[in-house]
Structure formats: structure tokens, C-alpha cells
Structure 1
Amino acid sequence: ELYTEIDKLEKDRNKELEVILMEILPEAFAVVKETARRLANNKTLEVTATDFDRELASYKKNVLISGDKAIHHNSWLAAGNEVTWNMVHYDVQLIGGIVLHEGKIAEMATGEGKTLVATLPAYLNALAGQGVHIVTVNDYLARRDSEWMGPLYEFHGLSVDCIDRHEPNSEERRNAYLADITFGTNNEFGFDYLRDNMTRSPEELVQRKLHYAMVDEVDSVLIDDARTPLIISGPVPRGDEHEFYDLKPRIERLVNVQKSLVTTKLNEAKKQIAEGKSGVDEGGLALLRAHRGLPKNKALIKFLSEQNIKPVLNKTENYYMQDQNKEMPKVDEELYFVIDEKNNSVELTEKGIELITTSGEDPHFFVMPDVGTEVAEIEKSGLSAEEKVAKKDELMRDFSIKSERIHSVNQLLKAYTLFERDTEYILDDGKVKIVDEQTGRVLDGRRYSDGLHQAIEAKENVKVEDASQTFATVTLQNYFRMYHKLCGMTGTAVTEAGEFWEIYKLDVVEIPTNTPASRADQQDFVYRTMREKYNAVADEIVKLTQAGRPVLVGTTSVEISELLSRMLKLRGIKHNVLNAKMHQKEADIVAEAGKTGTVTIATNMAGRGTDIKLGEGVKDTGGLAIVGTERHESRRVDR
């Protein structure tokens, strides 16, 4: 009852707080805008020095103390580059600030200054002394924005820090949370919450009460990654790496035999469909077999992209799936294993088990025992009670070993057939690192679960790390719903407005642009083959660079970005590549991207929060040219 009373008092206090903040909003916003204007118009601002100014001057080069005066310069370092403040809030940005303060989502077009808009509600809500969390999608943006916008807040005596600069569980990170405004990535905020839930004493906690969060690129965090669990795990005493290495030669043989079979079935399907025999027991059946055998086979994907071929596959699949997949065994009988791409699962067939069971080996080496039947048999036998117990123990041991073995086989099959290097993951310094499909960035410290990561490590011949077990887990969706007030900014939220309201009770408000958009969107070009498409892309890049325009080339994977890079090298075009492998050079590459004739090949990682500033004379040549090599699965990423 006492806790209920405390919760009620806290809610009442927060309501009163919101009323007061709304009253002072016009004055607070005016203060921030006037500060921005003065910093833009003057190289230095001189004020009476406070203790906070003196502390700032001890470690910040843009603040100097002269007698009883503090001199704030309008140039400072952000993400390793010197920036000179030259921005003043537009009226439409003030509207965006109000929307964010009210706990809604502001949809603002790309380049409309979302980072600057955030300074308004961040300053206002920081005055409450409860802490403001500004959440970004990656550590580069968290550090850059804290350094770029920090001096604006610090001029008014507000402390700013970035949790990504400090080690977890450290005193420095605890102090970062005590700052008035704290920047960080969604994952780090979530992991700190988990670590706090694992502490043994209140003194070890780093976070304080979750009050106000402003999420940059809110659709990426609250929709794309919403159900992705953040997991803190630790090593399991027993690792099963040797099993992966022992099974690897068998699985490689199995995959190669299936590849050969799929090629045969695909050629059969092509021949029969070309002859007009596309029925469910002719070309359609051969096509479905190839698809259930290796759905990621490049020749199959290419064939399915041809006109009227996908409908043949869908029609055949629907036919064999009717009556609860009654006829599906007819499709799978020739395959060694069956892949269900939608459910991300692989299942060995009798034929496959036969192939990987070596001669002289127990024919049930990869077959799970029927525990119920076996136990019944033991009970019926004339053995003594002790012998029955011993037999049952032996049966359960056999069950456990075989279950682990079959699980390892399935994970290795997934590693070889569903996970491709430079698409789902990269190899970096002898380690397998996952690439985020939405952002194109490496997910440092993240591992696939259930032994899949180990299977990929075995496939790539790198050190197989120990298996891990989960200690604590939370989804981003559940974490962000704990804040008293949540808001966000993005250029692409209206398409998901219904979901934002249903799950988070967040309204989406479109903010008008300050000036009409001058971007000219062209129609898509569709080519028959990949070769023709990439040759056309390379020719277009050559043409645009000869006109003096900077070119940003969008790709969906590391593999495609490197393929285009090789093609441009052959044509003698100088260019930069920004992908998961080159993320350390991100700031330098983005700084160059808007200069005359510069070509930048990028995965999705360049699309979130990175503004490309145009160099001198670029507008006269037609501005930045963007060439998208393919449509992304999420239309918001394309926008």
C-alpha cells in the first residue's frame, strides 16, 4: 500500500511538473534560439564566469577564463572535425520542439535539422533536474551530437555527457547518467538497465529513474529493432566446439551434394517451363524442390525474378501445402535436407541422415530415440528395479547426446545455407561479427544464439568461442515504455503511425519543411540481369562525376558495395567505400562525400543521422546525385 501511495505521489508530481514546463516553454525556447543566433553571429560570447564555467575551461578548449569573465568561442571539435556554429532555429523547427516536448513523434524531412530541433525540448526538460536521455542509433552519432550540441547547453550551465565514452559499471558512466543531458545509443541504455538489475547493492547502480527520452531515428529503434532482445550472457562451463569441427566435413559434403541436386532440379524446371509444362507435377514441382533445397541459390533467385516464374512457384507451393502439408513429403523425398526460409529452419531428411552416417557407424547415430516407447519396453522387461533405473539413465544420456548432436547439425546447415559472409555477417580480425540488416553497421558484442554463432565460426575456420547462457534480457520496446515521457524524431514515421499509437501511444506529427524540397526523384530502371544493372550503375556514376557532381551510391550489403568498388577501380574512378568493414573512417568519408566529383559507395549505415554537407560550387552542377542500386525490404530505409 505504501508503494502504491508513493507511485501516486510521483504521478501527481510529474503532472504538476509538465504544467510548469508548458508555462515556461516560450521563454525557454526563446533562450535557446537567441543563444544559437548569438553564437552564429559572434566568434566569442563573454559572460560573468560561474564555477561551472571555470570547471569547463579546465578541459574544454572553447571556454577560456579571463579574470571574472568566461569567454565562450563559437568553434569546437565534434567527431574529430572542427565545427563553427552557424545555425539558428527556423520557426518550423520550433514547432518540432513543441511536438517533442509534448511526448509525440516529429516527422521531419531529411536535412531539416532534427539534431538542432532536439536542443529545444532537451534544454526545457533538463531544467526539471530529472535527466534527459537523447538516444541515437549508433555510437558515432551519440558522440558526435554530444560534442556538437553540448556547448549550447553548457553555455547555460547544463552538464552534458555521453555514456558511450565510458566503460560499463564505471564511476564515469554513473556520472554520465547524473548529467542534465545524457547522450547514448539505444543498446547501451538498455544494457545499463540490465546490468543495474544484476547488481547486489544500490551503490552499484548507474542509471537513475527513467524520466524523459528523446529517440533520434525513432522508427529504426522502436519499430525495426523493437522486438530484438538485448541479452547479457556469460560462458557455459562446457563448450561443444569440437562437435562442430567433427561434424563440419560431413555437413560440407551434404551441402555440396544438395547444391548439385538443386542445380539439376533447377535446369529441369527451366526446361519444362520453357516447353510450357509448368504444372504442379512437372516444372512447378522441380522448381519447388530447388526452392526448398536451397532458397538462397543465386541462379534460382535470378530465375525467380523473371516474368511469370514466381507465380508458378507460389501455385505449386499452395497445392502441396493444402490439407496441412499432406502432399509435401512427395516434394521433399528427393532432397537431403529441407529449408523453410520463412521460419529460418532446416530439417534433415532420411536421405540426408543416410548420407552423413558413415559406413560401420550406428545407423541411428543421427536419429532421436523414441523415449516413450523405449521406457515402456524397459518397464515390460524382466529386469530388476536397479537394472531398469540404469537402463533408463542410459536411455536419457543417449537422448541428450543425440539431441545435442542433431541440434549442432541443424545449426551448421543453417550456417552454410542461410547465412552468407559479407551479407549477414563479416569476418573482422578473425572474429565473426553480425551486420545489422537495417543500418548496415556491425553489431559489436552481439552473437547469434543457440550455437548458431559457433557453427558460423566453425564454417569460417576461426576460433570457436565458448557457448553462452542468458543472465538477463529485455527488448527495446519494453525498455522504452518505462520512461515517464517518450518522444522521437525521424524522416520516415508516417508509414508506421498506426503501430506507434497502438504500442507506445505516440502520435506522429508531420513538420512542414522550411523551404520546398528541391530533390528531383527519377523513375526506377529495371534490368534483365545483375551484370547489366551494375554496368549501368557504373556508367551512370562515370557520367555524373564527369559533370562535377558528388555521387552517393546506396547498396544493401557489404558484398554489393565491394563488387561496385571493384567495377569502379577498373574504370579508374576514385571513390570511398563506407560499409561495416570501414566504419572507423566514417567521419572522414562523410566529410568528403559532398565535395565536387567525390564518389561514395555506402550501405544503409550512411542513411541514418549523417548529413552530407555540399562543397563549393556543387549546387551549380546539379547538387548531390544519389544512385540506389536496389530497393530495400523496408521502404522507410529507401526514403
Structure 2
Amino acid sequence: MRTFPEETPTPPSRNGGRPRLAKKFRNWLMNAPGVAATDRLDAVVDRAVARALAPDLAAVEGLLDALRAAPRDAKAPWPETAIEDYLVCARAVVFRTLGLTLFDTQMLAAANMLRGTVVEMATGEGKTLVGALVAGAQALSGSRVHVLTVNDYLARRDAAWMGPYFEAIGVSAASVTATMGPAARRTAYLADVVYVSVSELGFDVLRDRTVTDPAETVLQPLDACIVDEIDSVLVDEATVPLVLAGRARTELQSVDVADFVKSLRADVEFTVEADKRNVSLTDAGIDRAEARWPGVELYSAAGTPLFSSINVALHAQVLLQRDVDYIVRDGQAQIISDSRGRVASLQRWPDGLQAAVETKEGLATTEHGEVLDQLLVRDLIRSFATVTGMSGTAVAVAEYLRTNYTLDAGPIPPHKPCIRKDLPELIYATSAQRDAAVVAAVLAAHATGQPVLIGTHDVATSERFAALLRDKKVDAAVLNARNDGVEAEIIAQAGRKGAVTVSTQMAGRGTDILLGGTDATAAGHREVAALGGLLVMVVGRFYSPRLDAQLKGRAGRQGDPGAGVIYSSVEDPAANGQESHGLELSGSVEGETDDAGLVTRAGVSKLLDRAQRLAEQERFTTQENSWKYNELIAYQRRVVLSERSDVLTRDAAALEPFEGEAHLAELRAELGEAGVVHVCRQVLLFALDSLWSDHLALLSEQRAAIHLRALGRQNPLDEYRKETILAFEGLLERANDSARDMLAALHPVNGSVDLEAAGLRRASSTWTYVVNEDPFGSQSDQIVKWLLKKMGR
């Protein structure tokens, strides 16, 4: 968010300068599932604006003291009187410390968030400052606040930028980033308000779960959480697990199938499903594999490792595309987040698929890891006592947020009416014709000086457009996963006269596009506005209409002119697989296009709308299914963590499993009471953590094969839950038995025990697995499909 400081606060008005929501729209809001009517707090904001005309600093301090002293239930929404008093203070302090005048719409957003509502605010409306207002209020009431961002850059920037405001109201603030060590993290988490990326917080939760000394923990209680780009975090990334891993105790069995897979013929020996999410061998492919490895029947227990290796290598070869799904940089295959367009830091595919991609690209394969624990982003967020947040596209998933997080979302009107023109979608018969039309439109706009932003899906497409434009003597700035480290500088200048910028997905970039550029004068701003403002061209629909809206939302910030248009083709991913939804679009459109390939058939855009909605609903269903499989594991994890906490904090709990053991008396004599407590605690924690890791590995194997139960008319989910319960029974007792065996094998030397030499080594590496419900079609699913085919079903 950026606004220009004013000499004096803007005069108040009874309506705060806000355009009132139309009655019809307001009525719709009242009835839409999960959507909150945010204008209910209009009067509170209006009173606060009126009271903030000429702030008396002594009166402001008095109000802040009263807010600190007022008893408040951290889980309860703020009362309206307290919100009004706080906004009076905030308006005065923000102007004094940051040189900014709060928009009344920003105050309305903060008021609604303090009442527990997620707010939708357009790009450029000041979400960063709103987040700081809410964080400051929650901290004043005694809560420890975490503001969750999408990356380290924003965490560091926002904590520093909002720092003067927090200091003025008596609240400490800090940021946590990936480069910080344990001591620095521990200090930062002591602050009242902590800015931290979702992944870094998740990793710290996992590391705290594995400490062997209470002094090693870095986190404080998880009270209040404010999530920036909340729909991206709670919807798009909800089932991406944060994983704590260590070097595997056993080597992963591998079969070299890369050359074999490269020789397979499409539509003959393998087929790709219409949605391009799964690839599978045909009967001809199976026959060829069994001829290549004589004596091995793929659909048998003995053939499972080979079958799995072939499927994984085939997925890597056919479905994962370089410069689309990943880039190769610094000798590594680095995954690109499909919702952010950036390199997904510390992410990797599950073991086997990661190695297959590295083999495909001729890279050194990474070390095989062993999962010690994992945490879904959804479960991390639900660990907080209170959650709220903001986004530019939250209302579109309001029903989802209510169903899965008991959160409502509501729209905040813009500070100035949005005059952006959303132009009709242009759909072409082929992607080549679509691209030619985009280039022609860019040249036409560029000739007038109008700035243009081209939004693409992937690195390859962004670079292809940059090359096409260079051929036409137009230099375009390119922002994608290769150079995301300079994204702020590129985005900040995308509004200059004559600028052409090609970018991948823009969610959560945290920098506004100002007409005329960041250093533009008022005259420069007016000049670009007169040219029509920023023109955004979306090349091909994204998997979610929210991502399309985020891109188009880059134009028209704070009442500026601008325009957005989507260029699609019948060959785009959004048009693929229409038949599976009962839609007939991907067939020929011959005779229904003009000379440039523009489709003239009526209703095609509506078909794409429907397909896009259905595809997103499928993603939601997949997530919900994944959560159902994880619910029981989450409960079992709580049981283990409770036991672990007891062992970690009570000497008696650490010694209890070993009482009566003769070896314990010998160790006491050698090590003393404190020494034997330390050793027993380390051994018991190691045994508990190891068995939990083994339990997760076992459940992963069961999950991969559980779909076979469908052949016997059993419910896979019910069967998985039964297996999960059986696998967990007696785990704590087995941990005690294992710990007694390990303790018996320990022998002190010179009054101490070398635990690491005895094999009690702790993991330190962390990454996230890119995991879907079924990321590439498990071997069991392939078997089910094959058997059903043979059975004629």
C-alpha cells in the first residue's frame, strides 16, 4: 500500500467518503453463504473519523491506556465502543508516525477484522496498513499476534515499515526470516507482533515439536493470527504439508527406467488424461515393460517397485515441464508455485518423483529423506485462538472459508470508485492465433504510450512473449521465477509511460503499480491516466477465476483508469477436458471464427466460466478428501505430543519406563541423578520420535494402496481409518520397550555417554512436499483402473 502524505488530515464526512453499497447488492450479501455485510460498522467508522479531526495527544494516550487495561476475552470479537476508541487513536498515530491519512475504508476493514470477519480489499487499497492496525489492537488487548505473509521479503519489509506505528502505541514488533538462527528467532518471537511467512512459522512449530530440551523452543503461544492473501494460504495451499525430515535410515529402492520411459510412444504405449493430471501405461506399454524386464509381472506384489518407478518416471517425463512446473537453477530442479508464479522455496516432490525429474534433467539426485513429522497449513492456522485476514479475492471463497474455518468474508468498497474497464474475453481457435492477437494489441497500446502488463501462466510463456515483442522492437521487462528477487523493482515501474511488463501470476507480490512509476509527479500520473491507465492482458485463464481477477485487479487502483482483458484459446488448459463436465468446446470450431481465428460462436466464454468453476470445485473436493484422511493422524499426533511434552518437562516421566531396570542403577552410579535423567529423557524421546516417523511411513504406504479396497466394495476411507487405528495401538508402549533396549546398550565412558555415537542423531533439514490427493496417479489406482477395464466395468 502506498499513499501520499498530506499536510493535514482530510476533513471528515458523515459517510466517510465511501460509496454506499447498493441495496440490491447488500441484500445479496445477507443471503450468500459465508458472506458478511461489512457496512454494519459504517456508523462506528463515521464516529471515529469525526472524533479524529484535531487529535489531542494526551487524550490519545489516555484512550490507549484504557484499551490496555480493559479486560477482554481473546477469542471474543471486539465491542464496537472499543473499536471506535482504537480507530480514533490509530488515525492520529498513523498520520503522526507514518505521514499517512487513513482511508475510512481502511478503518472499516480493520473494524470488521476485529469483529472476526475476513475482508476483501482491492489492490492498492492499503491491506498492509490494515493488517498493522488489527495487529496493534490485538496486541494492546494482551494477545500475541502473528502476521503471516507469503515470503520473507514481505515479512521483513512490513515489520520495518509499520514499526514506527507499533512503537508509538507501545507495542513491540519483529520479523522472522529463513536466514535467522535459533537465538535470533527466539528473541523475535518474544515481540508482541511478529511478521513471519507461513512456511517459516510452520517449520518452527515442527522444530519445537522435536526439541530435547525445553530451552531449545523458540515459539510463544499462538494467540492471534492475521493472514495476508488469506485465500491463497487457506485455500490454494491448505493441503501442502510442511515437513521436517532427516536422512533416511534405509536407502530408497530405485529402478533405472528413465531411458525406457523416454522411448515410449504417446497414445500407443501410454495415454494422458484429458485434464493432463494423470498419465498411464496402455496394454501395449505394459506388454513392452514386461518384455523389457522378463519374468516380472507388473500387477503383482513382486512387480510393484518396478511399476511404481515406471509411473513416476513417466509422470516426470510427460507431465512435468521445464520452465512451467519447475526451472533448473544452480544445479537444482526448483519447483514453481502455480498460485504465485515464484520458486517454491524449500519445496520438493515426494521421493522418487524428485529423483525422476533430476534424472530427466541430468542433475545430481538429492539425498533421500525420511519424514519425521509434518503439518498441514490448514492445521497450522487452526492452531491459533483467533484467525482473520485480508485478500483481494476472499469473497469468491466465502462459503469455503465458512465451511472449513468457520470464517465469514465480506467486501470493503474501494476508497474511490473503481473505473477499470473489464473488457469482453477474446477466445481464439489456436494458441498461436491468440498469441499473435496479444502481440498486436500490445503494439497498438505501446504506440500510444499506454503501459501494458501481460500476465502469463509460466516461465516459458513469459519468456516466449518477451522474445516475440523483441522481434517487434519492443523491450519488455520480464518477471518470473528466474528473477523473483527483483520483483518489487520491476512491478514498481510497470506503470511508467510506454512500459511493457511480462509477468507470471501476481498474487501476494506486495507492491502496487503506480501510474507513471514510483517517482512520478502528479503531472506524470495524469499523463498516463489520460492514456487509459494500465492495460492488463491475461494470456489464458488460470485454474481459478480468483487468479484471473487478481491479475486484472492490478489495473484501476484507487480510482485510476485502466483496463483488463483475457485472451484465451480453445487449446488452453482451461478448455481441455470439457467433455468430462458435459461441455463440448474442445472440438472443432472450424467455420465459427473470423480471419484472425477469433471464435465467433456465442456462449463460449460462459462454457469456460462453468468449466473453470467445476475445476475449482474438484480441487476443493480433493482437499476435503485429503483432510478426512488426515483427521485421525492429527488426533494421534496430539496424543504423541502430549506424551512427549510430559517426558520433556517432568523428570519422573522421563525415568518412569526404566524404573526397576538393573542397568538404570548402574548408570546412576556413573552419571549421577541429573545425568541419568538427561540420558533417559534423550533415549525415550528418540524412541518416541522414531516410532512416530515409522508410523507416518506406514500410513503413507497404506494410503497408496487403500483404494484397492474399492474392488471389494469397501469404503477406502473407512478401511484406512481402521488400519490407522490398528497401526497406532500400543505405539507408546512400543516406544518404552525400544527405549529400554537402547538404554541397556549404553555404556558410560569417563562419566558420560556419547548418544550420537550410539545412533541417536537428530534431523535438522526442512522442506515442504508438493503433495496432492493423487499427484500422479498411484500404482494402486493404476491397478484398479486396469482391473476394472479387464472386468468390463
Same fold (TM over 0.5): yes
Q: Per the alignment, in what secondary structure is the counterpart of residue 462 of structure 2? A: helix
466, 472, 481: which one aligns with 1:565: 466
Is the Cα–Cα contact under 8 Å of residues 134 and 215 in structure 1 kept in the other structure? Answer: yes
1:635, distance to aligned residue in structure 2 (A)? 0.4
Q: Is 1:634 matched with 2:544?
A: yes
Q: Is 1:161 matched with 2:219?
A: no
Q: Is 1:34 matched with 2:46?
A: no
Distance between the aligned counterparts of 1:340 and 1:538, measured in 2?
32
TM-score (norm 1): 0.70
Cα distance change of structure 1 residues 17 and 344 upon mapping to structure 2, 3 Å threshold: closer
1:201, distance to aligned residue in structure 2 (A)? 2.2
1:26, distance to aligned residue in structure 2 (A)? 2.5
Q: What is the match of residue 259 of structure 2?
A: 249
1:20, distance to aligned residue in structure 2 (A)? 7.8
Give the gaps of 5 or more residues in structure 2: 1-70, 517-523, 550-793
263, 270, 275: which one aligns with 1:337: 270
Report the AA paired with residue 73 of structure 2: K
Cα distance change of structure 1 residues 223 and 427 upon mapping to structure 2, 3 Å threshold: same
488, 496, 500: which one aligns with 1:595: 496
Distance between the aligned counterparts of 2:169 and 2:313, measured in 1?
57
Report the AA paired with residue 104 of structure 1: T
Is the Cα–Cα contact under 8 Å of residues 143 and 165 in structure 1 kept in the other structure? Answer: no
Taking only aligned residues, the RMSD between alpha carbons, in angstroms, comes to: 2.4
Q: Is 1:214 matched with 2:244?
A: no
607, 623, 627: which one aligns with 2:533: 623
Q: Per the alignment, in what secondary structure is the counterpart of residue 514 of structure 1? A: coil
Cα distance change of structure 1 residues 406 and 362 upon mapping to structure 2, 3 Å threshold: closer
Identity of aligned residues (%): 35
Cα distance change of structure 1 residues 341 and 198 upon mapping to structure 2, 3 Å threshold: farther
Cα distance change of structure 1 residues 174 and 23 upon mapping to structure 2, 3 Å threshold: farther
Report the AA paired with residue 496 of structure 1: V
After TM superposition, the structure 1 = structure 2 runs for residues 34-183 of structure 1, keeping only pairs within 5 Å, are 34-39=92-97, 85-164=98-177, 166-167=179-180, 170-183=182-195
Question: Residues 479-498 of structure 1: CA distance to partner in whole angstroms, max 9, x if unpaired?
Answer: 11111110010111112111
Q: What is the match of residue 464 of structure 1?
A: 365
Question: Residues 367-397 of structure 1: CA distance to partner in whole angstroms, max 9, x if unpaired?
Answer: 3556xxxxxxxxxxxxxxxxxxxxxxxxxxx
Report the AA paired with residue 101 of structure 2: V
Q: Is 1:194 matched with 2:104?
A: no
Is the Cα–Cα contact under 8 Å of residues 477 and 501 in structure 2 kept in the other structure? Answer: yes
Distance between the aligned counterparts of 2:421 and 2:320, measured in 1?
37
Is the Cα–Cα contact under 8 Å of residues 75 and 386 in structure 2 kept in the other structure? Answer: no
Q: What is the match of residue 546 of structure 1?
A: 447
Report the AA paired with residue 435 of structure 2: Y
Q: Is 1:520 matched with 2:421?
A: yes
Q: Is 1:225 matched with 2:156?
A: no
Is the Cα–Cα contact under 8 Å of residues 148 and 198 in structure 2 kept in the other structure? Answer: yes
284, 288, 291: which one aligns with 1:351: 284
208, 217, 223: which one aligns with 1:205: 217
Question: Residues 567-600 of structure 1: CA distance to partner in whole angstroms, max 9, x if unpaired?
Answer: 0111111221111111111121122112111111
Is the Cα–Cα contact under 8 Å of residues 553 and 600 in structure 1 kept in the other structure? Answer: yes
Is the Cα–Cα contact under 8 Å of residues 134 and 184 in structure 1 kept in the other structure? Answer: yes
Cα distance change of structure 1 residues 19 and 486 upon mapping to structure 2, 3 Å threshold: closer
Distance between the aligned counterparts of 2:460 and 2:532, measured in 1?
30
Is the Cα–Cα contact under 8 Å of residues 576 and 600 in structure 1 kept in the other structure? Answer: yes
Is the Cα–Cα contact under 8 Å of residues 339 and 507 in structure 2 kept in the other structure? Answer: no
Report the AA paired with residue 198 of structure 1: T
Is the Cα–Cα contact under 8 Å of residues 366 and 405 in structure 1 kept in the other structure? Answer: no
Distance between the aligned counterparts of 2:190 and 2:386, measured in 1?
18
1:237, distance to aligned residue in structure 2 (A)? 4.1
Report the AA paired with residue 363 of structure 1: P
Q: Per the alignment, in what secondary structure is the counterpart of residue 73 of structure 2? A: helix
1:167, distance to aligned residue in structure 2 (A)? 2.5
Is the Cα–Cα contact under 8 Å of residues 336 and 350 in structure 1 kept in the other structure? Answer: yes
Is the Cα–Cα contact under 8 Å of residues 423 and 557 in structure 1 kept in the other structure? Answer: yes
TM-score (norm 2): 0.57
Q: What is the match of residue 412 of structure 1?
A: 313
Report the AA paired with residue 476 of structure 2: H
Report the AA paired with residue 88 of structure 2: A
Q: What is the match of residue 495 of structure 1?
A: 396
Q: What is the match of residue 609 of structure 1?
A: 510
Cα distance change of structure 1 residues 492 and 173 upon mapping to structure 2, 3 Å threshold: same
Is the Cα–Cα contact under 8 Å of residues 120 and 410 in structure 2 kept in the other structure? Answer: yes
1:541, distance to aligned residue in structure 2 (A)? 1.4
Report the AA paired with residue 106 of structure 1: V
Is the Cα–Cα contact under 8 Å of residues 338 and 347 in structure 1 kept in the other structure? Answer: yes
Cα distance change of structure 1 residues 454 and 16 upon mapping to structure 2, 3 Å threshold: closer
Distance between the aligned counterparts of 1:593 and 1:489, measured in 2?
24
1:365, distance to aligned residue in structure 2 (A)? 3.4
Report the AA paired with residue 382 of structure 2: R
Is the Cα–Cα contact under 8 Å of residues 548 and 621 in structure 1 kept in the other structure? Answer: yes
Q: Per the alignment, in what secondary structure is the counterpart of residue 426 of structure 2? A: coil
Q: What is the match of residue 443 of structure 1?
A: 344
Cα distance change of structure 1 residues 404 and 165 upon mapping to structure 2, 3 Å threshold: closer
Distance between the aligned counterparts of 2:282 and 2:426, measured in 1?
42
Is the Cα–Cα contact under 8 Å of residues 108 and 513 in structure 1 kept in the other structure? Answer: yes
Question: Residues 511-531 of structure 1: CA distance to partner in whole angstroms, max 9, x if unpaired?
Answer: 122211121111111122222
Give the gaps of 5 or more residues in structure 1: 1-12, 40-84, 263-334, 371-398
431, 445, 452: which one aligns with 2:353: 452
Q: Per the alignment, in what secondary structure is the counterpart of residue 407 of structure 2? A: coil
After TM superposition, the structure 1 = structure 2 runs for residues 266-277 of structure 1, keeping only pairs within 5 Å, are none
Report the AA paired with residue 86 of structure 2: A
Q: Per the alignment, in what secondary structure is the counterpart of residue 428 of structure 2? A: coil
1:140, distance to aligned residue in structure 2 (A)? 2.5
Q: Per the alignment, in what secondary structure is the counterpart of residue 370 of structure 2? A: strand
Is the Cα–Cα contact under 8 Å of residues 114 and 489 in structure 1 kept in the other structure? Answer: yes
Q: What is the match of residue 45 of structure 1?
A: none
Question: Residues 123-182 of structure 1: CA distance to partner in whole angstroms, max 9, x if unpaired?
Answer: 1111134321111122222222222222221233322211116435x1111111111111
Is the Cα–Cα contact under 8 Å of residues 556 and 604 in structure 1 kept in the other structure? Answer: yes
